[in-house]
């Protein structure tokens, strides 16, 4: 009998526990940091966490495909079997400098729909997770029986009242040369919180908008279901949801159309 969504989630949370243990053993220690061909960094922790995740996933679900930042794509038995999407350490540049804003991102996708997502940030002592139809949650680490509080996006309805977040400002301005500044200047407050954390802040109602100018599927897989189950939206500039656009606009849903209009204006 196939595993239920709840069972997949429980397994993903167990994976996150082990990922946290490994990554914290390296944090602010000897990292063996290297620069990859695309200019991004990789550490011993990135490689060790992804290797563990792949080993455990393959042992339990040998038919499943795996897409990971460090080892690429491993095909599954069939397209229907499901796919795991992994970022062993999202925020590696900060991790390498001792900044505590980084997380293991673990997602499970089936039939083109992300069903389960976990974003575990042990240096922040916090984890976010969600499963399709079961809601989104935030809990304190170390985990105690996967207990957490259900989270929801805010009810703020205009950009003028919104807390707007963004990643590296230079890349935001490359993608939206004038439009991004228009959104930021119209906002009640803006801050440059990048990576997984900003999307999670939108999901738990702390902010209303996140402008993500350049990302890969493993950066967004886990976050998409967390945001959507919390009541928010993650789309491209045309309002199409997904993790393969190369960028993302995340919001509480209520201000989404207004933000998209501002970003599309010449």
Question: Percent of the chain at pLDDT above 70?
Answer: 95
Handedness of CA 116, 197, 210, 206 (dihedral sign): positive
Residues 6+ apart with CB under 8 A from 73: 65, 66, 67
Show the tokens assigned to 226. 């967390």
Domain boundary among 150, 174, 200: 150
Reduce the DSSP state of residue 115 to 3 states and report it.
strand
143 and 177 both lie in a single domain: no
pLDDT in tens, 161-209: 999 999 899 999 999 999 999 999 999 999 999 899 999 999 999 999 9
C-beta separation of 153 from 202 below 8 A: yes
Mean pLDDT confidence for 52-66: 96
pTM score of the predicted model:
0.94
Q: Domain containing 210: what range?
A: 159-264
Domain boundary among 150, 169, 198: 150
Question: Percent of the chain at pLDDT above 90?
Answer: 80
pLDDT in tens, 213-257: 999 999 999 999 999 999 999 999 999 999 999 999 999 999 999
135 and 165 both lie in a single domain: no
Domain at 100, CATH number: 3.30.540.10
- 65: closest CA among 47, 87, 49, 85? 85
178 and 111 both lie in a single domain: no
- 187: closest CA among 171, 203, 170, 202? 202
1 pLDDT more than 50: no
pLDDT band at residue 211 under the 50/70/90 scheme:
very high
41 pLDDT more than 70: no
51 and 122 both lie in a single domain: yes
pLDDT in tens, 127-162: 999 999 999 999 999 877 778 999 999 999 999 999
Domain at 197, CATH number: 3.40.190.80
112 and 12 both lie in a single domain: yes
């Amino acid at each position: 009998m196939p595993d239920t969504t709840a069972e997949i989630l429980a397994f993903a949370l167990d994976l996150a526990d082990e990922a946290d243990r490994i990554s914290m053993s390296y944090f602010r220690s000897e990292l063996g940091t290297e620069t990859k061909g695309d200019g991004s960094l990789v550490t011993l922790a990135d490689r060790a966490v992804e290797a563990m995740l792949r080993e455990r996933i393959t042992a339990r679900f040998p038919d499943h495909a795996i897409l990971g930042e460090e080892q690429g794509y491993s095909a599954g038995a069939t397209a229907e079997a499901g796919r795991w999407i992994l970022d062993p350490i999202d925020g590696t540049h900060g991790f390498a400098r001792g900044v505590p804003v980084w997380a293991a991102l673990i997602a499970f996708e089936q039939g083109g729909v992300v069903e389960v997502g976990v974003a575990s940030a042990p240096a922040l002592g916090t984890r976010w997770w969600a499963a399709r139809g079961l809601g989104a949650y935030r809990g304190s680490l170390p985990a105690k029986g996967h207990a957490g509080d259900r989270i929801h996006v805010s009810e703020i309805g205009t950009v003028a009242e919104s807390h707007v977040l963004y990643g590296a400002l230079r890349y935001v301005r490359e993608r939206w040369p004038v439009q991004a500044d228009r959104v930021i200047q119209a906002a009640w407050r803006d801050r440059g919180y990048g990576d997984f954390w900003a999307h999670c802040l939108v999901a738990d109602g702390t902010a209303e908008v996140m402008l993500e100018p350049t990302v890969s599927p493993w950066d967004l897989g886990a976050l998409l279901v967390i945001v959507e189950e919390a009541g928010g939206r993650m789309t491209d500039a045309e309002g199409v949801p997904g993790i393969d656009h190369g960028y993302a606009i995340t919001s509480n849903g209520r201000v989404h159309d207004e933000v998209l209009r501002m970003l599309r204006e010449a």
